[in-house]
Amino acid sequence: MLWNTVIVVLTVIAMEVFAIVAHKYVMHGFGWGWHRSHHEPRTGWFEKNDLYAVVFAGVAIALIHAGTQGRHPLEWIGTGMTAYGALYFIAHDGLVHQRWPFRYVPRQGYLKRLYQAHRMHHAVAGKEGAVSFGFLYAPPVAALKRQLHALHGGAPRARVQSDEHPAS
Give Cβ neighbours of residue 62 (< 8 Å, ≥ 6 apart).
78
What residues of the chain score a pLDDT lower than 70?
154-168
Evaluated on CA atoms 119, 120, 125, 131, the torsion sign reads negative
Q: What is the pLDDT of residue 103?
A: 87
Angle at 160 between CA 158 and CA 166, to 5 degrees: 100
SS3 content of the chain, % helix, strand, coil (to 5): 65, 0, 35
For residue 14, give the 3-state DSSP assignment.
helix
Res 42: pLDDT: 87
Predicted local distance difference test score (pLDDT) of residue 167: 44
Q: Give the per-residue pLDDT at 160.
A: 38
The confidence score (pLDDT) of residue 154 equals 65
* Residue 156: per-residue pLDDT: 62
The whole-number pLDDT of residue 161 equals 37
pLDDT value of position 27: 98
Q: What is the DSSP letter of 46?
A: -
- Looking at residue 61, its pLDDT comes to 98
Rounded Cα distance between 9 and 34, Å, is 29
Q: Give the whole-angstrom CA distance, residue 73 versus residue 66.
A: 9
CB of 144 closer than 8 Å to CB of 155:
no
